[in-house]
Chain A
Amino acid sequence: MKFSDLHLRVPLNDMDQTRRMIARSSELGYSQIGVPLSFGVKQDTIDQLRQTSEEFGVDFVTRLDLAPKSVNELLGSLRRFRRKFEVVSVLCGSKPLARQAAKDRRVDLLSFSAVESRRCFFDWAEAELASKSSAALEIGMTQVLSLEGFLRVSLLSRLRREVTTAQRFGVPVVISSGATKVLLLRKPQDYACLTFLFDMDVSSALEALSKNPFGIVERNRVKQGSSYVAPGVRIVKEKARDSR
């Protein structure tokens, strides 16, 4: 089984540490990693990351994390940057924003604040919208590891509710590490064991680490390919033009 970690937060200003994190991801059994990049990232940086990933036999995925303050800002950012990145994640900070992100087909991952439980908008209405637009719910495991006491209790309770809602409406769940350093990385199987804390069964957890993220990346790569025209329409063969 192949595994993917779509949220590896490598420090782009420290290439040694970045290299170590990519190497460790490969060692732990991941064959695909997604690195969040900023809007104005240079092509050289992307090439360097891709080269390092290839060196360790890992598929590199460009990812954009959006944290807009308004719906208009979200739509503007999507219009400008969607085509430049393979995966787009939106941190939903308000209800209108969460609803817009859930129904927009350009959004791949919906994420919510781990600490502020009042800012969790993944309810039935949100799940229904997300299920129609094929957006997935992202769960970052670093917070589960690093939080303690009441904050972790609140996070686990929220995750349990969100996972149940997602499964009920058929919204895919994606589990990612969100790790910023090597010692926060875990094996995919270890993450699957950790999902026991919020009542997710092991097979669903493994799917959330493999099938679901791979599906998102594959779908977007097809869309970004030159033969893609619209959903269900792609160029199979081009007719040669007359040179008269």
Chain B
Amino acid sequence: MIKYVRRRYLALRVECEGPFDRKTVSDALWNAVLQLFGEVGCSQAGLYLVHFDEEKNYFVLRCSHRALPMVKAAVASIARIGNQSAVVHVLRVSGSLKALSKRVTLPT
């Protein structure tokens, strides 16, 4: 029987000293999880960058619900994106994209 995978969606906001793109943010996230929890942790996290809004510095990340504390810790530990100082704030966590879009108010 196939095991149903529960997921969590995190709405995140990036603040960075300079410009950044989807790839650099994605790399920073993967590196943070890899550095803190290793390859096994990374494989359990099931990270996927669902949505990326470059204008509003806002993105949505998907992960396994079991790995949520790991992912939140890794996100909070990000201090650099590329070669620039940066910070990633968790705005909201939800079980579905629909609920997340209802709950989160995007920064103007």
Q: Which residues of A contact B (CB under 8 A)?
A: 144-146, 148, 181, 183-187, 189-191, 193-194, 196-197
Contact = CB atoms under 8 A, between A and B. Distances in A.
Interface string B65-89: 0000110110111010000011101
B15 interface: yes
A194 B15 contact: no
Interface of B: 15, 17, 35-36, 69-70, 72-73, 75-77, 79, 85-87, 89-90
A178 to B, nearest CB: 13
A19 B36 CA distance: 33
A146 B87 CA distance: 12
Given A183-B17, A197-B36, A191 B86 contact: no
A185 B87 contact: yes
B77 A183 contact: no
Contact of A148 (B15, B35, B89, B90): B35
B90 A183 contact: no
B87 A186 contact: yes
Contact of B76 (A146, A148, A181, A190): A190
A183 B15 contact: yes
Contacts of A146: 79
Contacts of A187: 89-90
Contacts of A184: 79, 87
A183 B69 contact: no
Given A185-B87, A186-B87, A197-B36, A145 B69 contact: no
Given A183-B15, A196-B70, 7 more contacts: A148-B35, A183-B79, A186-B89, A190-B89, A196-B72, A197-B36, A197-B77
